[in-house]
Structure 1
């Protein structure tokens, strides 16, 4: 039986695992379960797919404990242009290699098990995780670190179109179009990165529901510390906490630097922008045709959706029965109400999206992963 089982091997799960292995537990006593064979595989696949070169987050946000670890790593490995801008945003390839090296130092890969979780139960103080192959793994403590990117959001009108010409960027198995003109639907960082990347080789049209929203980060940096979190934690009503989180997030926003890159492509005639809602969509022989509410018709060989993820709780299919059986406390939005230690019930901890009613708006991102890892390690 393991002392710790972490379900989910993305940035969140790997950050928690790295911290626990450094401070609390031996490799033989920790297991990470993920659907993919390598750590942070969805993150690395998707960021490469959209052509991201620098992260949005600053240099102090990464999976190591020392906040200056990435800057030291850049110097010791002699990276060219390792950081960009006033917030020292790191190169993606450097961030990824730093993460892999830090995980290698503590042996994360040696604790890895590829598998799909289909059940979770607790009996006699022991947790049992059931996999799709019916294997049952026992542990004293479980960390739920499942991400949201495995559940892409598809607008309703998509389902009456032929899927051959439509794909979602968060579909990890789908490849990008290699010919023809492309329409990208979305207005945030993912859509912007993808639009810039593809506009260097294709004719690209970006369709968004709203004007560009320019923000350095996906929420105000005040949410990283007591400036906003002090008042947030004094709120006892979890419906109000959810409203505060929604208000704090700059959904569908992008950095000014990326916005200027898009404008340069537009001025060069490689990228077009349209703002409006989709009223209808039709599949043609080898193309898709979109009708906007303003009457504009846009057609292309391929439609790429960058419309985010579903808002359901991660792992809902197998997690909901656990919530009901153990009467786990949830807010009206369905998300966990947890202790400051991030313990939902005895021996069951949450990370990432599932921890946001305690960690706040940054819970889903790298800064949130660091906060989660620190809290769980302190209370282990």
Structure 2
């Protein structure tokens, strides 16, 4: 039996594991269960695919406990242009290597188990985690750290499209970027912008068109930095109605926004004739052989060879399929939105903890990002 099981090996799960292994427990006492064979697989594969070069978050947000660890790492290994801008946003490759080195320092891979969880129950004071292979693993504590990017959000028209072979979602792990032709990128947020910029720089790509429903929303962060500390969180914690907390979280997030720096990079590609923007509602999609023809709400018709959907993930609870019946069976407290109501320690029930999106009604609007992972690791480690 393990002392701790962490379900989910993304940034949140790895941040918590790193903290526990450095301060609280031995490797033999921890197991990380994830669908993929290596830590932070979804994050690393997606950011590499879309061509992200610098993170949106500042240099102090990473998986190590010391906020200045990444700054020292950049100096130690002499990275060129390790940070950008006023908030010193780190290079992606440096951030990822720093994360890997942090995990290698405590041998996280020795705690790794590739598998898919399908049930959770409590028996005789012990948590039992069941996998699809019918294996059952016991632990004193369990952390639910599943990510939100596992279920792509497809537009309504997608199910009615006759031929989908040239229409793929960027969150689909099997999606490969085209190397030539004309490309549509559907979406107006950071993922769409990075993807379009990457494609526009490929020499064999004829043209790239970003199709978006609204003008670009320029925000340098996905929520106001005031949500990182007491400036806004003090009032947030005074709200005891979880419907109101959910509304505050929704209003605080700058969904579908991009940074000013990325917007400038896109405009340069437009000026070079490699990229164009089209704002409006997509009404019809016709696919024939290697041609995708679309009609916009203003009657404009556009054609391309490939369409990549950058429309985000489904607005659902992580692990919803298996976690919903567990919630009912164990009578776990939830808000009207269906998400966990937890203690300040992030304990949901008897040594069952939550992280990431599952913790946002307690952590606040930053819960899903790297800053949220650090806050979550702090609280869980304090109660380990």
| TM interval, short-chain normalised | over 0.9
TM-score (norm 2): 0.98
Q: Match for residue 343 of structure 1?
A: 347
Counterparts of 1:241 and 1:31, CA distance in 2:
33
Count the aligned residue pairs: 380
Deviations 1:321-345 (A, max 9, x none): 1100111111111100000000011
Counterparts of 1:43 and 1:322, CA distance in 2:
27
The CA deviation at 1:286 is: 1.3
Q: Match for residue 292 of structure 1?
A: 296
TM-score (norm 1): 0.99
- Give 5+ residue unaligned stretches, structure 2: none
Q: Match for residue 23 of structure 2?
A: 23
The CA deviation at 1:287 is: 2.1
Q: Match for residue 124 of structure 2?
A: 124
Q: Match for residue 2 of structure 2?
A: 2
Q: Match for residue 176 of structure 1?
A: 177
Structure 1 outlier segments of 4+, above 3 Å = none
SS in 2 for 1:78: coil
Counterparts of 1:24 and 1:280, CA distance in 2:
56
CA RMSD, 1 decimal = 0.7
The CA deviation at 1:279 is: 1.5
Deviations 1:249-293 (A, max 9, x none): 000001100000000000110001000111221212212222211
Counterparts of 1:122 and 1:299, CA distance in 2:
55
SS in 1 for 2:181: coil
Deviations 1:203-247 (A, max 9, x none): 100011110111110000000000000000110110110100000
- Give 5+ residue unaligned stretches, structure 1: none
Q: Match for residue 376 of structure 2?
A: 372
Q: Match for residue 108 of structure 1?
A: 108
1:1-380 superposed matches below 5 A: 1-161=1-161, 162-201=163-202, 202=205, 203-380=207-384
SS in 1 for 2:37: coil
SS in 2 for 1:325: helix
Counterparts of 1:113 and 1:48, CA distance in 2:
24
Counterparts of 1:180 and 1:353, CA distance in 2:
38
Deviations 1:38-59 (A, max 9, x none): 0001100000000000000000
Counterparts of 2:189 and 2:124, CA distance in 1:
46
The CA deviation at 1:365 is: 0.4
